[in-house]
Amino acid sequence: MAQEYFNYIDGKWVAAASGKTFASHNPATGELVGRAPESEAQDVARAVEAAARAFEKWRKTPAPRRAEIIHAAADLVRTRKQALGELLTREMGKVLSEALGDVQEAVDMGMYMAGEGRRLNGLLVPSELPNKWAMAVRDPLGVVGIITPWNFPIAVPSWKIFPALVTGNTLVWKPAEDTPVLAVEFVKIFEEAGLPPGVLNLVTGYGVPAGEALVEHPQVKLISFTGSNEIGKTIAIRCAQLGKRVSLELGGKNAIIVLDDADLDLALDGIIWSAFGTSGQRCTAASRVIVTPNVHTKLAESIADRAAKLRLGNGLLPTTDVGPLINQDAVTKVHHYTDIGRGEGAALLVGGERGTEGDLAHGHFYKPTVFDRVLPTMRLAQEEIFGPSLAIIRARDIDDAIRINNSVNFGLSASIYTSNVNKAFAAMRDVTTGIVYINAGTIGSEVQLPFGGTRGTGNGHREGGGPPVLDVFTEWKSIYVDYSGRLQRAQIDTDSLVQ
Ligand code: UN1
């Protein structure tokens, strides 16, 4: 019998009201990892009601006390890092070292947000009138709904849960249907850390009906969503109609620019890591290399060479470089783009097919794929593939490269390799993505800086860290205290004050 997992509502582990469950499988082996509740609108409603009941007390709990619980949770994540990492590889597929990094990112975020419990800076500014005090504080929103992806099943939820909690919100979390067991294990940690019942609630299940019910519920004030563009757009439209705040982190089509003066070995390492790490299933993964003429041929050959040597396999094995894709649909999608690339006339250098040899036949594997002679306008160079598929594009010079970089409908991450400091600074100024790397690949954000992007990547919010994440989960409240004891009119009585 497969182990069965439960929703967490009002501090209790409960099945879906319908009793229905769905299965989570290991994408490398097909093994059953567990079964979780297939929640529907009534489960979501119970979770939202529990969160609404818990809100008054939680918002009045002093932030430093809230932060102690967050700190304890982050400590527990650290203690369980190895076990959580192994489970992460089993349920989601990424290689163990990367799975441990995913878990570590949650420790980092927890520690960072625990610190916010004694900060949560507001504003204190002079008033234009005498004997008057002017300040602004952050208020929690109330019940917030978070919907998270499978590719960073611990890190990305931590970017939302920790800041939401420290600022005094209560939450309902709907994790991706591919990684429900990890979500349960993460929530158990908050329970053990002493989070009061109802403050964090978990409902597992599918986008429709569970995620949809969360978006629709009138008591949910914010939807924070990380996932595909298509679903993000639907959520944004619905939230606009319902008058809700929505924070979106959607796709990417990230590029690494390599100029003639770059250290090519360094660039090669960054390209291989950014394109094929996590099997290309990061929002920040590099799916384009934009290279200037003198180094184009050499770089393309070296990339193809290295990509061909990457070993596919189960992420728990130390010999594996690249794990499986999340499911069969993902394999089909990546292969579809191989067909598109061929059809568009790009040159396939390596890969372009499923990995089916030996044990790979039990999982969802796709060989690291590299296309050369890709034109910036091709679909291969414009659309998010979310897999191990890399397009090499030639640019005339740095200006052309930056123009190509900025010409896609995404703007998450970009990188440039150059040994010329002037060019590096020009790129820092002119590249229009939310994250820019100099002489490093497109992946590897840290929690103390904002994470998010421009254009189709989001809607202007930043999560993942840095002080701006607090803006997602709070309302500003400006407070004026007049202690003059008489009527003082702003903008009007100020003239008489100037001598
Ligand atoms: C994501 O792909 O959704 O910069 C998150 C990185 C990681 C986070 C990626 N720190 O690749």
For 15-78, list the strands marked E by DSSP: 21-25, 32-37
**Contact (CB, 8 A) for 174 and 203:** yes
Domains 7-250+458-479 and 254-438 share a fold: no
Mark whether 239 is an active-site residue: no
C-beta of 284 in contact with ligand 1 (< 6 A) = yes
- Give the residue from 447, 458, 438, 271 showing the smallest Cα distance to 368: 271
Give the start-to-end residue ranges of the domains of the chain: 7-250+458-479, 254-438
Q: Average pLDDT, whole number, for the chain?
A: 97
What is the C-alpha separation between 181 and 27, in angstroms, rounded?
A: 14
Q: Best substitution site from 146, 226, 283 to test ligand 1's pocket, by max atoms within 8 Å of Cβ?
A: 283
> Phi and psi of 444, rounded to 5°?
115, 35
Which atom from ligand 1 is nearest to the alpha carbon of 281?
A: 2
**Contact (CB, 8 A) for 175 and 204:** yes
* pLDDT, mean of residues 67-89: 98
What is the C-alpha separation between 44 and 199, in angstroms, rounded?
A: 14
C-beta of 322 in contact with ligand 1 (< 6 A) = no
C-beta of 152 in contact with ligand 1 (< 6 A) = yes
| Cα 365 to ligand 1 centre (Å) | 21
What CATH number does the domain located at 254-438 have? 3.40.309.10
Strand order in 170-174's β-sheet? Answer: 12-14, 7-9, 200-202, 170-174, 143-147, 220-226, 245-249
C-beta of 156 in contact with ligand 1 (< 6 A) = yes
| Cα 283 to ligand 1 centre (Å) | 6
What is the total residue count of the chain?
Answer: 499
pLDDT at 177 over 90: yes
Query: Which residues make beta-bridge pairs with 371?
Result: 348, 391
| Cα 444 to ligand 1 centre (Å) | 6
Helix, coil or strand: residue 190: helix
CA nearest ligand 1 atom 10, residue: 445
| Cα 438 to ligand 1 centre (Å) | 17
| Cα 451 to ligand 1 centre (Å) | 8
CA nearest ligand 1 atom 11, residue: 443
Contacts of 426 (CB under 8 A, 6+ apart): 398, 402
Of these residues, 283, 344, 383, 384, which one is catalytic? 283
| Cα 238 to ligand 1 centre (Å) | 27
What is the C-alpha separation between 28 and 89, in angstroms, rounded?
A: 9
Tokens of 347: 């040159």
**pLDDT tens-digit readout, 296-342:** 999 999 999 999 999 999 999 999 999 999 999 999 999 999 999 99
Specify the CATH class of 7-250+458-479 in words: alpha beta
Mark whether 249 is an active-site residue: yes
- Give the residue from 387, 372, 303 showing the smallest Cα distance to 342: 372
Contacts of 424 (CB under 8 A, 6+ apart): 416, 418, 438, 439
The pTM of the full predicted model, rounded to 2 decimals, is: 0.97
- What pLDDT is recorded for position 128? 97
Q: Where are the alpha helices (DSSP H) in 117-224?
A: 155-166, 180-193, 212-216
- What pLDDT is recorded for position 464? 86
Confidence of residue 1 (pLDDT cuts 50, 70, 90): low
Helix, coil or strand: residue 388: coil
* pLDDT, mean of residues 88-97: 98
* pLDDT, mean of residues 51-58: 98
pLDDT at 497 over 90: no
Q: Best substitution site from 102, 151, 443, 447 to test ligand 1's pocket, by max atoms within 8 Å of Cβ?
A: 443
Percent of the chain with pLDDT over 90: 98
pLDDT at 2 over 90: no
- What pLDDT is recorded for position 425? 98
**pLDDT tens-digit readout, 381-415:** 999 999 999 999 999 999 999 999 999 999 999 99
Q: Best substitution site from 103, 224, 282 to test ligand 1's pocket, by max atoms within 8 Å of Cβ?
A: 282
C-beta of 444 in contact with ligand 1 (< 6 A) = yes
Which atom from ligand 1 is nearest to the alpha carbon of 105?
A: 10
Of these residues, 177, 249, 384, 463, which one is catalytic? 249
Q: Tell me how far apart the terminal alpha carbons of the chain are, to the nearest angstrom.
A: 84
Torsion of Cα atoms, 138 then 143 then 144 then 145, to 10°: 180
For 29-148, list the strands marked E by DSSP: 32-37, 123-126, 132-140, 143-147
**pLDDT tens-digit readout, 451-485:** 999 999 999 999 988 999 999 999 999 999 999 99
| Cα 255 to ligand 1 centre (Å) | 15
- What pLDDT is recorded for position 495? 84
pLDDT at 372 over 90: yes
Rounded to the nearest 10 degrees, the angle between the axes of helix 96-116 and helix 63-79 is 160
pLDDT at 229 over 80: yes
Which atom from ligand 1 is nearest to the alpha carbon of 226?
A: 3
- What pLDDT is recorded for position 499? 59
**pLDDT tens-digit readout, 100-134:** 999 999 999 999 999 999 999 999 999 999 999 99
C-beta of 445 in contact with ligand 1 (< 6 A) = yes
